[in-house]
Structure 1
């Protein structure tokens, strides 16, 4: 949540503490690698090289990062308003319905950039509407946002399955997926962007939605730190009683914050549906909504921090795939363990080292004050 009166310097709050958490997570992961009989330093080298050692690796890393930027921003917007939105997974599912509807309707009559606009609006609208129900229940009925949003994930998953089987799946087709989109429903790849640096993305699905994610990060920064609404959201998140005393309408803030959060989560559906698969099928979200929680926590709910944390998790996904291939002893399940450790230290144990770091800087500040007084 927002911390407008931070007790630590900004570089400590937004850089040092996340780096300490990350270092401990990788240290524990290294011990796990030792237990399976592999060299942790070599494993780290393979992971980093697999993620950033080639144009294709970078393309895959940024493709995965696109998922996490948008879901991380979704969670962060809710955080700033004092809300814990665990429903980004379901909101992204329902957002996919908006993307698929636009692509299947207009892909053969419009160019991709017009279909993209309609798909973006559809994904944000559907995602926002799916977040509206828990928001209304929280604001007007006192239901806890954590419970309602996580339950709505399961409803969204089954709604998606129903839509695939009864609406999107062509007649006579066995697989639970839509037809392949025509060219008008396909986002262009960003190989040309990396070719500036002499890199070839190969078969990586790195696509236009990455730029959408970066624009979304900038818009969220403007919203939270440069608008009156953002100020009200941060005040509500930091001290709700003071916000109500100042005349801020808490119900309105809850509704608007969750609508924006759901819209950002729904926008994530562009990446796999229009940017990679060119169809809608089951499980296209692949857990990105839950990873977005860790990304938002590690990035301190700041858009820049979220982008960097998302790239880190993109590295874990892509580098982990390379690691499981080059070191068969480290299975895909082991990679999930390593990812889980990062999520654990970045999320659940996020404040483990904060007291010691705070005490250290308090002592350092006191020593400087005493030295200055002595002079």
Structure 2
């Protein structure tokens, strides 16, 4: 069936919505199995994620992290690269953010520390992505294998630093000292209070606005710049793109460096915005979930934003569900898995029928020609 005859909103918007709906229906069977009314579970999750200011703040806080990791995966995918190393790149990028907060936080306010932390966090994430990119472009090493390996290296490096270098004396906790309060990013409730809007405190901080700006940047870069065109050309057909004069090595390295930079921004939200110290495993799997976010968002910034909001809802709503019913919080992982299953592995289950139905109902039929 010719995909050109079907509008983009059918496969980019309607199809993912159907996949998510089916995933939630299957989740309902899971809730019935554990003797929870699915409608009650949905109500608890919805009210916990969107029903009050603090819960909504937590939802957007989680959404911010998913935006950074989802964009990182999406950018690499446009060049035909499957960046599995966003977890490690976010980890090392967070190290850069933390080091800036630890060193400059004593002497400079947050509005000075913030742009420097953004630059250094992005550079650290880019540097961690550069080596797999070079190996892919120059030596033919598969990007999936090298980025997975670099995740383990990043985890080991961070464990060493937090145990032997950054950990304060007279403590057993694997974490750095707390950043100076002047380096902490303002919370959104504090910012809104300046305009007379009072909301309940939550971890949501200024990095949410920065994440939205990153979505705009990725859209402009990928679809409105020459480099973005070359990235998409390499992803579509590397041989044809190289024949047309596009430098394969340069584009592969550029794409992965940009992907690592976006992943490195993750630490801005979590470390400078909320934890205010470097902790072991502060990424908490957000890098791997970013793969699902990009997949579900069709690697488009708008889709990534909406998918991030969905996963933020699952995180916060799942926490409320666990508190309300006492179920294991790993139920959130099961819900995520079902969304990923139907949005990824089973994506093509509904696509042919959906396209066929659209063409049958809405495709314009050629007008009958008059007979002379």
| TM-score normalised by the chain length of structure 2 | 0.94
The residue number in structure 1 matching 2:269 is 271
Cα displacement (A) at 1:352:
2.4
Quote the Cα distance in structure 2 between the aligned partners of 1:157 and 1:144.
21
- 1:282 paired with 2:277, answer no
Cα displacement (A) at 1:199:
6.0
RMSD of aligned residue pairs (Cα, Å): 1.7
- 1:321 paired with 2:316, answer no
- 1:347 paired with 2:344, answer yes
Is the CA contact 2:87–2:287 (under 8 Å) kept in the aligned structure 1? yes
The residue number in structure 2 matching 1:369 is 365
Moved more, 256-265 or 111-120: 111-120
The residue number in structure 2 matching 1:200 is 199
The residue number in structure 2 matching 1:334 is 331
Is the CA contact 1:164–1:282 (under 8 Å) kept in the aligned structure 2? yes
- Say which SS state the counterpart of residue 179 (structure 2) adopts: coil
The residue number in structure 2 matching 1:258 is 256
Is the CA contact 2:168–2:177 (under 8 Å) kept in the aligned structure 1? yes
Runs of 5+ consecutive residues of structure 1 not aligned to the other structure? none
Change (3 A) 1:230 1:187: same
Number of matched residues? 367
Render the CA deviation track for 1:139-159: whole Å, top value 9, x for unaligned: 111111111111111111111
Cα displacement (A) at 1:338:
1.1
> Which of 68, 71, 79 pairs up with 2:69?
71
The residue number in structure 2 matching 1:18 is 16
Quote the Cα distance in structure 2 between the aligned partners of 1:126 and 1:8.
42
Cα displacement (A) at 1:365:
5.5
| TM-score normalised by the chain length of structure 1 | 0.94
- Say which SS state the counterpart of residue 369 (structure 1) adopts: coil
- Say which SS state the counterpart of residue 37 (structure 1) adopts: coil
- 1:218 paired with 2:213, answer no
Quote the Cα distance in structure 1 between the aligned partners of 2:162 and 2:127.
20
Quote the Cα distance in structure 1 between the aligned partners of 2:237 and 2:196.
47
Cα displacement (A) at 1:241:
2.1
> Which of 99, 112, 118 pairs up with 2:110?
112
